[in-house]
Amino acid sequence: MAARCTDVLRHYVLLSFKVFSRRKFFTAISIFGISFTLMVLMVATAMLDHAFGPGKPELKGERILVLGNARVSGPHLIINGRPGYALLDRYARNLPGAERISFATGDPDTSVPVFVNDRKIEPVLKKTDADFWQVFDFEFVEGRPFNQAEFEGGRRVAVINRSTRGQLFGDGPALGRQVELAGARFDVIGVVEDVSLFRVEPFSDIWVPYTTEASTAYRTQLLGNWTAIALARDQAGKEQLHDEFNSRMTRAELPEGANLIVAPFETRFEWLARSGPFSDSNDPESQAWRFALLLVIVAALFTVIPIVNLVNLNVSRILERSSEIGVRKSFGAPALTLVGQFVVENVLLTLIGGLLGLALSSVTLRAINASTLIPYSQFTVNLRVFGYALLLSLLFGFISGVYPAWLMSRLHPVDALKGAMK
């Protein structure tokens, strides 16, 4: 039975290639449409994978929770933003279930002017603590991160990334050299590999201890520009610290005029959902499913038009081949066998389109990486993305092939031989 199936499948594959080579125009049009659609989907998949998949410096990503949104509301007040240092300091320390908790300034567009040989550059500056380097696994090119003593002592030390080292000091080493930030000189003690902007929490050009801040005004603000990053001990620890913090928030001191604060510890995906389309939610529970649903709907809307086009193209192609269907039915092909033949043919076509789409997406991702559109982006088509791409191609081929094949299977042999469809 298995041998017969293999034999029939082999025939379908051979026949498919014969059909493709004999109908070059149709094949070219189909492959172009499929590969372009899949390329866009694969680029989007690679970007999502780059933002949310495991990778340096987020090797412990599945244990990391972020507190990056705070929504304060009252009868005449709604403020959406990031939490302030005071909120984190009062309520986000010593959370059960957490292995480490780090505080850092949040917005990736907080740049600082630095002058190099009369030339101004504006690297992004992140102020953080010593725990930051334990939560993330940065790849050090030179030196080391700042430690607890340096942090507590307010030592002016800085870690910079490879690109900033190039801009500041050329090709030479950076250790022992100084960089002037907002009028103060910092000793460079470490150089790390560039981190993509898509890795929002670890991303920066320069990292310094926040204890070097001249003013202490930030220490009293409930809302501001801060992020807490918690490394949970395990999955249970994640839930524990999340629940405990929410419980603390119900007793939190609120700004004047406010009666509710929503500021949960969440995964980056949940954080993105809350900072983007669902920022008006007063529900501290995860908005991830709503965001995921939104992404699926957008992807489906984007995919549905090419699929409908492909279905139409396939229906025309099948009608054009109705005589062949009639002949096959006359000589004993059961309807299901013919459905199999056309689905295999279509899946093969989409796989070819998928491979081409994969090559095109690889080229597109390289072009995005080479441009400065997204700082330090390292989008790649890795095995995981390739797996998604393969799945997408198969799904695309299957969906766009099944309906025309089903229509064809209902074709009456006599009508099919006459070249007409009922």
Partner 1 sequence: MIRLENIEKVYRTERIETVALSNLSLEVAEGDFVSVMGPSGCGKSTLLNIIGLLDTPTAGAVHLNGSAVTRYRDRELAAVRNREIGFVFQTFHLVNDLTVLDNVQIPLLYRRMANRERSRQALAAIERVGLSARANHFPSQLSGGQQQRVAIARAIVGRPRIVLADEPTGNLDSQMGDDIMALLKDLNQRERTTVVMVTHDQQKAEQTHRIVRLFDGRQVH
CB of 401 to partner 1, least distance (A): 18
- Of residues 300, 373, 414, 420, which one binds partner 1 by CB under 8 A? 414
Nearer to partner 1, 7 or 234 (CB): 7
Nearer to partner 1, 75 or 332 (CB): 332
The answer to whether residue 332 forms part of the interface with partner 1 (CB under 8 A) is: yes
- Of residues 7, 137, 139, 152, which one binds partner 1 by CB under 8 A? 7
The answer to whether residue 4 forms part of the interface with partner 1 (CB under 8 A) is: yes
Task: For residue 55, list its beta bridge partners.
Answer: 58
The answer to whether residue 335 forms part of the interface with partner 1 (CB under 8 A) is: yes
The answer to whether residue 337 forms part of the interface with partner 1 (CB under 8 A) is: yes
The residues in 16-55 that bind partner 1, with binding defined as CB under 8 A, are 18-19, 22-23
Task: For residue 119, list its beta bridge partners.
Answer: 116
Number of residues that bind partner 1 (CB under 8 A): 28
Q: Tell me which residue of 148, 133, 273, 264 sits closest to 204, measured CA to CA.
A: 133
CB of 324 to partner 1, least distance (A): 5
Residue 36 contacts by C-beta under 8 Å, 6 or more apart in sequence? 306, 357, 360
- Of residues 207, 329, 352, 392, which one binds partner 1 by CB under 8 A? 329
Nearer to partner 1, 327 or 402 (CB): 327
Which x/- pattern, by CB under 8 A, does the window 159-198 give for partner 1? ----------------------------------------
Nearer to partner 1, 288 or 335 (CB): 335
Nearer to partner 1, 6 or 148 (CB): 6
Nearer to partner 1, 276 or 419 (CB): 419
Q: Tell me which residue of 410, 407, 378 sits closest to 195, measured CA to CA.
A: 378
For the chain, the C-alpha Rg in angstroms (whole number) is 29
Q: Measured between alpha carbons, how far is 201 from 64 in angstroms, rounded to an integer?
A: 10
Q: Which residues bind partner 1 (CB under 8 A)?
A: 4, 7-8, 10-11, 15, 18-19, 22-23, 323-324, 326-337, 412-414, 417
